[in-house]
Amino acid sequence: MILTASEKTAKSHLVVVGNGMVGHHFVEQLIAQKGHEAYQITVFGEEPHLAYDRVHLSEYFTGKEAADLAMTDGTLYDQHGVRYFTNQQVIEINREDKILRLKGGESLSYDKLVLATGSYPFVPPIPGHQRDNTFVYRTLEDLDAIRDCAKKVTRGTVVGGGLLGLEAANALKNLGLETSVVEFAPRLMPVQLDEKGGDVLKGMIEGLDVKVYTNTATQDIVDGDDAFHRMNFADGTHLETDLILFSAGIRPQDALATQSGLTVGERGGIAINNFCQTSDENIYAIGECALWNNRIFGLVAPGYTMAKTAVGHLLGSSDFTFTGADMSTKLKLLGCDVGSVGDAHGQSQGCKVFVYQDEISQSYRKMVVSEDGKKLLGAVLVGDNSYYDTLLQYFLNAIDLPEQPQSLILPAMGDAPVGLGVDALPASASICSCHNVSKQDINQAVSNGAVSVAEVKGLTKAGTGCGGCAALLKKVVDNELLSLGVEVSTDICEHFAYTRQDLFNLVKVENIKSFKALLAKHGKGHGCEICKPAVGSILASVWNEYVLKKEHISLQDTNDRFLANMQKDGTYSIVPRIPGGEITPDKLIVLGEVAKQYELYTKVTGGQRIDLFGATLSQLPAIWKQLIEAGFETGQAYGKSLRTVKSCVGSTWCRYGVNDSMTMAIDLENRYKGLRSPHKIKFAVSGCTRECAEAQSKDIGVIATEGGWNLYVCGNGGMKPRHGDLFATDLDDATLVKYIDRVLMFYTKTADRLQRTSVWMDGLEGGLDYLKAVVIEDKLGLCDELEAQMQRVVDTFQCEWKTTLEDEEALKTFRQFVNYEGEDSNVVFVQERDQVRPATDAEKQQLIAKVG
Amino acid sequence: MQWHLICKQSDLVIDAGVAAMVNGQQVALFYVPEASEQVFAIGNWDPIGKANVLSRGLVTHLNGQWSVASPLYKQHYDLANGCCVEQEAKVPVWPTKLVDGKVYIRQSN
Ligand code: SRM
Ligand SMILES: Cc1cc2nc3c(=O)[nH]c(=O)nc-3n(C[C@H](O)[C@H](O)[C@H](O)COP(=O)(O)OP(=O)(O)OC[C@H]3O[C@@H](n4cnc5c(N)ncnc54)[C@H](O)[C@@H]3O)c2cc1C
Ligand code: SF4
Ligand code: FES
């Protein structure tokens, strides 16, 4: 690099010192405001990497790489003529001549200077703090060093039980260390939590096998007896540990300010005014190094606001000012929810407090309200953050509290809605604090044409920081769309201006047999992951052709395309059909043998069958060949199709059974097993009213009675359980099947894509009575057709795996690589409880490190 | 940079992907006859789902761009430049050519 003091360009020279999150945001904002046209911009960063997402730093241990955390790869800078240098520390400012000096000895002049030097971890000067195997937690390099050390040792201790300390403790735990936390203060997270909240958190964290020492001062660190270090505590006790991580707070990096005589605070920090100018009007300070009104802001959102303010001021606008920031936070620490809003300690004059504590489920909530009980001043949440969004909105917008303010922290009883409707939020309500986006900004984006959360995100950046505002953001967007009368389009996607139901009818009436033909006649473009599988499913419902036929193969979602369920590591699970859950000992043995031969993880599913996990793509055909030879069929666990018909043993064995539920379940499963539908379908048959098969929670539920069978429809387990509706009683076998044919085919014809029967029923105009009228009374005159269509599906059933094994072309697509025989080296298993499971990222790294 | 012969055109699946191994690196090849490029080559590693699966995603055409939807969590990766549409993430891309029924990609060494 050659830069000299005399180098001059036509534009004023703006230098940014520090390329952390805030320094980068500053450059981004400056470019967005066309600041690069007014200034020649130069950026210096001391770290070897360009700016990266420090907020998500811990994810570096859970699989993210430096490139994933990077906030820029430099392209943005290059495109706008911003010069940038990493590994370059600025060591001196000569304010008189406006010259900077770099560590390498070079110097250069500036016209305007922005200090975004962040902060550094404070390490308490305990004797022994500089020993080997002691670390801090701030940069990628710190994490590299911690990871290297953790590979060799077993015990780790974090000094400091604040926010960052607990995050670091989580990281140590994930690295497989026995972890302890040592906190000087009487409770964890002393800044954010009150005493009781700290206690509850401590209990929860200890429950996770992390030892917590509060009220504990470390006197010195010396050689350990059975570990690398021994920490001697002031009360005479001690702790042996191999690795020590200091997380005892941060200090603003203000060395340059001190050196050059800028005003700094008593306890550090570069003093700034509301425009983020330091005591020298040509020098700005933003982010964690800046001190405003005697306060440091150790979060990224206030830093971003400062960046915006400085950009505005540099471009000649006084519209933006920095006037402090909300420091409310919500976090998941070691899996425990913790939230803190406003005045958590109740220090405001005359304030009153509500407290709710539940020692059974371990949660604690406190609200601090104004003397008159009208406004929320602060809150503390431990154990359940679902209350946070609402409380934060009351606080930030000074909304009048409801008459019974305590209802905001009491557990919800019955169906009463908790929380604040988005309508009640004022326009100025801050929705995304990371990017300072208000309700008004979102509404503006919507009225400028954004019609989805994704588009609003693109326009406003809301939701792209910590992600904590996602749920609220969606509510505000939906609410605004609705209030604008925007009809949320029912087109299935940009390629077809039709609903699924329309497409179903078109396929059937016009005798259309392929996606391409449908697209040519009724669509545009080339299709996407919404319409392709949806049309694939419709074609299968109507014509029931082999799903891997050449013209259908590219429509199938990966599970359907490879006739197996993809798992997180790219391997597959295999679920043969076991109708009704009945299986012979011989077949059980075959499953065991196959699983053993291919080293598959084996589990009994929630649907009364057996799932074999961990098969690679190229193993699938061989495994299925053996299973089919032993008499198994595909279980279509991958398809939107019939899953299982769960059954109890019924009257054959059970002393209470009134009918043979087992035979009925097997017959039903065999009848409907080939049906592709809008979503998966589950059945159950119980042999008597004790309902051991839980039929009332299934799409189709059948319960034996003295007089035949009772039929229940549209039940659901899963995310939003729904009891099935009693549809007809005391049916004989034939009528039962007839009704099920009609109900299922009517559902298949009219439901939306990926709509379970429960949701379909809830949206069906006329509801249960209408469905009865269609199916029982044949109100639409459709019944013959529905039955005929179902019969066609039944008659054309084929086991897709059997067909595939006979089809050379289809088999070719199961090769792992087209040009190479090996397997995917990223698929790594470890043993747990005598079976394989996928290795975690940390385990993979260790395994690879050991090999390499 | 040089052209590597990867496989025959008949090894590809129309409008879908297959995986190939090139210099120890996993590549996802997509054969899209309707696109001007015809064959796209991107990294097979899904940086968000963290598995070598992109070749097994659905090929999509959105706003005039060809992309693949990851089979794990459904993010789209642009086949032409490797950029993830929904999140900040990127996969490598390589130039390809289809000559006499053979598929080539260009990679350094
Ligand atoms: C394997 C299994 C869990 C187990 O280890 O027992 C399982 C595994 C999966 N379930 Fe399930 N579910 C399994 C029984 C259930 C049950 C219990 C049952 O069937 O009696 C339910 C609740 C009952 C219900 O559906 O009403 C269930 C409700 C869900 C849901 C929520 C559906 C809903 O409408 O709310 C999903 C998500 C979805 O489908 O969108 C889901 C999705 C999944 C997926 C597909 C998630 C995924 O994308 O990977 C899993 C596929 C795993 C695989 O590779 O096989 N699974 N899932 C069970 C397989 C049963 C079988 O033999 O086929
Ligand atoms: C593990 C962890 C988790 C966090 N979680 C959250 C969270 O959930 N929410 C939240 O809001 N905040 C969180 N933070 C805090 C957040 O990361 C910081 O507020 C933010 O990074 C501050 O940005 P900055 O640019 O001011 O400082 P930094 O990101 O520290 O950047 C300053 C940069 O300037 C460089 N620099 C310093 N001096 C010089 C010099 N003389 N010459 C050249 N370069 C120099 C430094 O090397 C550094 O790269 C977390 C921090 C950590 C470490
Ligand atoms: S409950 Fe969730 S994690 Fe468990 S199998 Fe079902 S989808 Fe997977
Ligand atoms: S509040 Fe962090 S992304 Fe919106």
Task: State the pLDDT confidence band at A415, using cuts at 50, 70 and 90.
Answer: very low
User: Does ligand 4 come within 6 angstroms of the Cβ of A381?
Assistant: no
From CA A849, how far away is CA A846, in angstroms rounded?
A: 5
Q: Which ligand is nearest to the CA of A564?
A: 1
Q: Which ligand is nearest to the CA of A611?
A: 1
Is the CB of B50 inside 8 Å of chain A's CB atoms? yes
Q: What is the DSSP letter of B84?
A: B
Residue at A848 is within a domain? no
Domain check: are A655 and A788 in the same one?
Answer: yes
Is the CB of B84 inside 8 Å of chain A's CB atoms? no
Q: A472-484: b or e for each residue (b if 16 or more CB lie within 10 Å)?
A: bbebbbbbbbeee
Domain check: are A258 and A213 in the same one?
Answer: no
Work out the percent of chain A whose per-residue pLDDT is above 90: 65
Residue at A620 is within a domain? no
From CA A490, how far away is CA A495, in angstroms rounded?
A: 12
Is the CB of A528 inside 8 Å of chain B's CB atoms? yes
Task: State the pLDDT confidence band at A101, using cuts at 50, 70 and 90.
Answer: very high
Does ipTM come in above 0.85? no
Name the nearest CA neighbour of A114 among A285, A276, A281, A262: A285
Token reading at A148: 């290297």
Residue at A612 is within a domain? no
pLDDT at res. A417 = 42
Domain check: are A689 and A787 in the same one?
Answer: yes
pLDDT at res. A413 = 58
Residues 27-46 of B with CB under 8 A from A: 29, 32, 34, 45
CATH of the domain at A785: 3.30.413.10
Contact at CB, A494 and B63, closer than 8 angstroms: yes
Token reading at A543: 């014509």
> Which of A72, A558, A618 is the mutation pick for testing B, counting most B CBs within 10 A?
A558
Distance A83 CA to ligand 2 centre (A): 21
SS (H, E, C) A386-455: HHHHHHHHHHHCCCCCCCCHHHHCCCCCCCCCCCCCHHHCCCCCEEECCCCEEHHHHHHHHHCCCCCHHH
Ligand 2 atom 12: residue of nearest CA: A299
Distance A638 CA to ligand 3 centre (A): 14
Domain check: are A242 and A257 in the same one?
Answer: no
Is the CB of B72 inside 8 Å of chain A's CB atoms? yes
Best residue for ligand 4 mutational test, from A327, A332, A466, A476 (most atoms within 8 Å of Cβ): A466
Domain check: are A405 and A288 in the same one?
Answer: no
Domain check: are A649 and A724 in the same one?
Answer: yes
Which of A458, A484, A510 is the C-terminal boundary of a domain? A484
Best residue for ligand 4 mutational test, from A432, A436, A441, A477 (most atoms within 8 Å of Cβ): A432
User: Does ligand 4 come within 6 angstroms of the Cβ of A700?
Assistant: no
Distance A468 CA to ligand 4 centre (A): 5
Q: Which ligand is nearest to the CA of A392?
A: 4
- pLDDT 10s digits, A114-172: 999 999 999 999 999 999 999 999 999 999 999 999 999 999 999 999 888 999 999 99
- Give the closest-approach CA distance of B62 to chain A in angstroms: 7
Residues of A in contact with B12 (CB under 8 A): 818
User: Does ligand 2 come within 6 angstroms of the Cβ of A116?
Assistant: yes
Domain check: are A548 and A670 in the same one?
Answer: no
Q: Which of B7, B52, B71 sits opposite A818 (nearest CB)?
A: B7
Token reading at A454: 């994704």
Is the CB of B52 inside 8 Å of chain A's CB atoms? yes
Name the nearest CA neighbour of A399 among A416, A420, A417: A420
pLDDT at res. A5 = 42
Token reading at A151: 């590979």
Token reading at B64: 């005039």
Residues of A in contact with B19 (CB under 8 A): 816-818
From CA A518, how far away is CA A493, in angstroms rounded?
A: 14
pLDDT at res. A488 = 55
Q: Give long-range contacts, CB 8 A cutoff, 24+ apart: A363-369.
A: A363/A200, A364/A196, A364/A197, A364/A200, A365/A409, A366/A194, A366/A196, A366/A197, A366/A409, A367/A391, A367/A405, A367/A406, A367/A408, A367/A409, A368/A342, A368/A343, A368/A344, A369/A401, A369/A405
Distance A158 CA to ligand 2 centre (A): 20
Best residue for ligand 2 mutational test, from A27, A54, A172 (most atoms within 8 Å of Cβ): A54
Decide if pLDDT at A851 tops 70.
no
Residues of A in contact with B63 (CB under 8 A): 494
In total, how many domains does chain A have?
6
Q: Which of B22, B34, B62 sits opposite A494 (nearest CB)?
A: B62
**Ligand 2 atom closest to the CA of A290, numbered from 1:** 26
Listing DSSP states for A341-353 in one string gives EESTT--STT-EE
From CA A330, how far away is CA A337, in angstroms rounded?
A: 7
Q: What is the DSSP letter of A51?
A: P
- pLDDT 10s digits, A545-599: 888 888 899 999 889 999 999 999 999 999 999 999 999 999 999 999 999 999 9
Domain check: are A407 and A463 in the same one?
Answer: no
Ligand 4 atom 2: residue of nearest CA: A466
Distance A242 CA to ligand 4 centre (A): 37
From CA A599, how far away is CA A127, in angstroms rounded?
A: 53
> By CA distance, what is A463's nearest residue in B?
B87
pTM of the shown model: 0.54
Which residues form the domain of A378?
A: 326-420
Token reading at A158: 């974090």
Decide if pLDDT at A486 tops 80.
no
Task: State the pLDDT confidence band at A9, using cuts at 50, 70 and 90.
Answer: low
Task: State the pLDDT confidence band at A491, using cuts at 50, 70 and 90.
Answer: confident
pLDDT at res. A398 = 86
Decide if pLDDT at A469 tops 60.
yes
The domain spans of chain B are 2-107
User: Does ligand 4 come within 6 angstroms of the Cβ of A299?
Assistant: no
Domain check: are A770 and A656 in the same one?
Answer: yes
Domain check: are A237 and A271 in the same one?
Answer: no
Q: What is the mean pLDDT of chain A?
A: 90
Domain check: are A187 and A264 in the same one?
Answer: no
CATH of the domain at A217: 3.50.50.60
Distance A311 CA to ligand 4 centre (A): 21
Residues 529-548 of A with CB under 8 A from B: 529, 532-533
Residues 5-24 of B with CB under 8 A from A: 6-7, 11-16, 18-22
Name the nearest CA neighbour of A579 among A713, A672, A452: A672
Domain check: are A659 and A765 in the same one?
Answer: yes
Element (H, E) at A333: strand A329-333
User: Does ligand 4 come within 6 angstroms of the Cβ of A433?
Assistant: yes
Ligand 1 atom 21: residue of nearest CA: A718
Q: Which ligand is nearest to the CA of A717?
A: 1
CATH of the domain at A437: 1.10.10.1100
B2-107 CATH: 2.102.10.10
**Which of A155-159, A196-200, A592-596, A835-839 is least confident?**
A196-200
